[in-house]
Amino acid sequence: MDRRKRFIIFLTVVFGILFILFLIFGSGTKKNTAPSAAPQKPLTVREYTNRDSSMVYTVEGNVRGNNMYRAVRTTVTREYRLIEVIEGYQNNVIKSQKEVNNQEAYATFLAAIESKGYGKERKTKKTDDEGVCPLGQKFVYEIYDGQKQVQRYWGTSCGGQGTSGANNPIVRILFDRQITDRSRFMSNIII
């Protein structure tokens, strides 16, 4: 046998052995054969209708001394509607009013606020809301599933700021209208 034929046989044997080893041991990486869990899609606002959920809308006043700072927080659940006046940055409730609610009213309310962007995120570079719009108002939109906060977006009266995609003037009216005699409750309260 000439040298060239021996070399071709040698290469064939070497590649054959390498091919067999490759088949036996694989490519060195293991494929994940377990099905990957699909990323969990966040619930829409309406999907909270039959859950132990609450929608919270807070209007925070402009930056002032602790004893003069005020915020108004409105919470709506399928069991109750609550408005609270908050004094100071420690969230001390100084006045509140709670009223009953029901499943049908809650479902209608959730459909209404969802249609006006409640629960919708607005992409923005500034996501930190600390100290924004110091001479105006900040609006905070929260969703709770039980005791767990699952969403928190915000906007301001300073224009173009915030992470919330909600139509604030309409959302504010919808929350305000959940409270009986809200204007009487809010008399003498400056935020």
DSSP category for residue 81: E
Q: Is residue 142 part of a domain?
A: yes
pLDDT at residue 180 in the model: 96
In single-letter form, the type of residue at position 182 comes to R
Q: How far is CA 48 from CA 16, 51, 62, 69, 171, in A?
A: 62, 5, 32, 32, 17
For the segment 83-134, what is each residue's pLDDT rounded down to a tens digit?
Answer: 999 999 999 999 999 999 999 999 999 999 999 999 999 999 889 999 999 9
> What is the mean predicted confidence (pLDDT) over 167-191?
95
Contact status, residue 60 vs residue 137, Cβ threshold 8 Å: yes
Q: Is residue 40 part of a domain?
A: no
- Alpha carbon distance 32, 54 (integer Å): 40
The dihedrals phi and psi of 155, each to the nearest 5 degrees, come to -145, 175
Q: Is residue 30 part of a domain?
A: no
- Answering whether pTM is above 0.75, one says yes
pLDDT at residue 17 in the model: 77
> What is the mean predicted confidence (pLDDT) over 163-171?
96
Q: Is residue 53 part of a domain?
A: yes
Number of domains in the chain: 1
CATH number at residue 134: 3.30.1560
Q: Is residue 7 part of a domain?
A: no
- Alpha carbon distance 14, 159 (integer Å): 72
Domain that holds residue 62: 45-185
Q: Residues 12-18: contacts with CB within 8 Å, 24+ apart?
A: none
Mean of all residue pLDDT scores within the chain = 89
Coil, strand or helix at 140 = strand
pLDDT at residue 95 in the model: 97
